[in-house]
Chain A
Amino acid sequence: QQQVKQSPQSLIVQKGGISIINCAYENTAFDYFPWYQQFPGKGPALLIAIRPDVSEKKEGRFTISFNKSAKQFSLHIMDSQPGDSATYFCAASRDDKIIFGKGTRLHILP
């Protein structure tokens, strides 16, 4: 069965701290691994994505670390801000399939 397991379900981080969310996938045919950010009442918005030919991608305060052999990837949010409080979804996809993790509710304490 194809799944994407995301953890933790919820996360509380102090302002200025590092938020880390992890995902694990099963199907080695997946070749695109995006992270989406969703605020209440809004649609998901692409935050950052990675393909399996690189082990890390950084965009501003957001970094994806990718471990192909372990079939795991993670999102790191550096210097977390209250405005980062949202639900984050990882996903694994290929040309004709996409599976999302169950989401992580992140709360940044001011």
Chain B
Amino acid sequence: DSGVTQTPKHLITATGQRVTLRCSPRSGDLSVYWYQQSLDQGLQFLIQYYNGEERAKGNILERFSAQQFPDLHSELNLSSLELGDSALYFCASSFSAGLNTEAFFGQGTRLTVV
């Protein structure tokens, strides 16, 4: 168990809908990272928050947004969902700010868009 908690584990929703994925980082970690894993694109970095502020941005679509709250938990909001958004979404956390440090992954949320 990495200590990173993601909810829900599974989510099935229809095209056009909006969902929110939640992540609680390991105790003491200040950084939260969001990743998308799909068969065709592999594992891709979406966005990072550090101590409440957006710090780095990867291949995140404009329909997607995230935030980190004062208690350091984070939410990833996916809107106007398309079939191609079906994927595993992982959250990771670390104490340090950079992407070039050890990070601990949660078990993921499997999103299915039908």
Q: Interface of A with B (CB < 8 Å)? A: 30-32, 34, 36, 41-46, 49, 89, 93-103
Contact = CB atoms under 8 A, between A and B. Distances in A.
Interface of B: 2, 4, 42-45, 55-56, 58, 90, 92, 97-108
A51 B5 CA distance: 29
Given A42-B107, A44-B90, A98 B45 contact: yes
Contacts of A98: 45, 58, 99-100
B2 A45 contact: yes
B107 A97 contact: no
Given A43-B90, A95-B100, A103-B42, 5 more contacts: A32-B100, A34-B102, A43-B4, A46-B104, A100-B44
Contacts of A43: 2, 4, 90, 92, 105-108
Secondary structure at the A interface, as helix, strand, loop or mixed, is: strand
Contacts of B108: 42-43
27 contacts: A30-B100, A32-B99, A32-B100, A32-B101, A36-B105, A42-B107, A43-B105, A43-B106, A43-B107, A44-B90, A45-B2, A45-B105, A46-B102, A46-B103, A46-B104, A49-B102, A89-B43, A93-B98, A93-B99, A93-B100, A94-B98, A94-B100, A95-B99, A95-B100, A100-B44, A103-B42, A103-B43
Contact of A94 (B55, B99, B102): B99
A101 B104 CA distance: 18
Contacts of A103: 42-43
A67 to B, nearest CB: 19
Contact of A97 (B58, B97, B103, B104): B58
A97 B42 contact: no
A97 to B, nearest CB: 6
Secondary structure at the B interface, as helix, strand, loop or mixed, is: loop
Nearest to A33: B100
B2 A97 contact: no
A107 B88 CA distance: 22
Contacts of B105: 36, 43-45
B103 to A, nearest CB: 7
